[in-house]
A and B are shown apart, each in its own frame.
Chain A
Amino acid sequence: MNDEARQKNPIEHLLRMDRIPHIWCPGCGIGTVVTSFAEALRKSNIELDKIAVVSGIGCTGRVAGYIKLDSFHTTHGRAIPFATGLKLANPELKVVVFSGDGDIFGIGGNHFIHAARRNMDLTVICVNNFNYAMTGGQVAATTPTDANASTAPYGNFEQPFSIPYLADAAGASYVARWTALHLRRVTKSIQEGMDKNGFSLIEVITPCVTLYARRNRLGDGLNLLKYYYDKSEIKHGADTRDLDISYQGKLIVGKFIDRERPNFIDAMNQHMSTVLGDDYELYGRINND
């Protein structure tokens, strides 16, 4: 990023400029998702001091280090349980988990399904670049079948997770998927996710130019964006069973799930008040919205 561009950057106050330049490769899509997130913060009415960002490990795991909010760079896979503790300890916080597909759905998959099941009031932004990039492009739980990876040198024969399907089945209140091409929609989904009184998941498919694209001979960032442009189809409310991603295949995007269900703290307060009556001390802020 040159000095001129930095001067003009309207989200500068949301970034730790003393840590820029960032570590991401040219053509990487993570930065664009960060921009969307910053844009969502700018548009949102939520007090910035009350927003915390939690990341795990990996390329996207570095996001917490660049966002100028209370931000936590935790261990591999444990961003969600860390965020769970943070949110429960201080319910007035809006807690955003910002991490990658390997972190959230590989090593941290168990935490994801349980946080969704509990409808923990977290906003999870998952940058899906189809591989473990920080460590050099290994096969992931999201790598499309037949795609090549450094630990699947003969191609991947496993079936990947469909992230929105998993989120839906586990009980998330809000589920959306976009690509790095749909930045304004990503921004809107992040806003909606943060406004949601419950567990929300926003998957953003982004180019990993240095590893995934190069290994699979898919060209540069522009080629990948072109793939997103050609093959993505917006289908709000699509049946989450139909959202599988095949190698260079169709990308169904949109907002799939948006439902109301008491979040963990509300459910606890409601239940305990019923069972224990006046003995129970209501916990945290009561959500009336």
Chain B
Amino acid sequence: MTEIRFSGFGGQGIIRCGLIAGKALALFDNKHTTMTQSFGPEARGSACSSQLVVSEDRVLYPYITKPEILVSMSQEAYEKYEPELREDGILIIDKDLVNTKPPRGKIKTYAVPSTRFAEELGNRIIANLVMMGFFTAVTKIGTPEAMKKALPGLVPERFLDLNIKAFDKGYEYGLHVLDEEKSH
């Protein structure tokens, strides 16, 4: 079982990240997933989060308690959620938006300029898809095909191609980072 938290600020498409990953893994990668999100005043603030539990069997307890993976696309979200990340967990950040503290335990950190890449592709709104591509590459939690297959219905149809392009960009960058990590 894997517990994942996607976090950032409102408008970055953080909930969408949880939905894309949850849908992709549950419908196309043969996993069981439960996606939950914060509602209410908590959801209105600047730190925004969606949670995903991934399992080989039916997810019974639906909430995360000590996530293995934390994705943070804002400083505030990073500061709020980093302490709950497991000591052997994976931290994934937007490198231009998050300044990390010195690493804790055996936490592995992966950084991607997702917002910058998105801007280069023409629209910062797709930064979350860059992040999803990167996340898919470095966590290997699911296949990139499944993630892309999950997009219709979750992103506007007319922007589907652009979203896929953003995903691919992040994914390639993730593979590149992994290569570099290996060669070190």
A–B contact via C-beta, under 8 angstroms: no
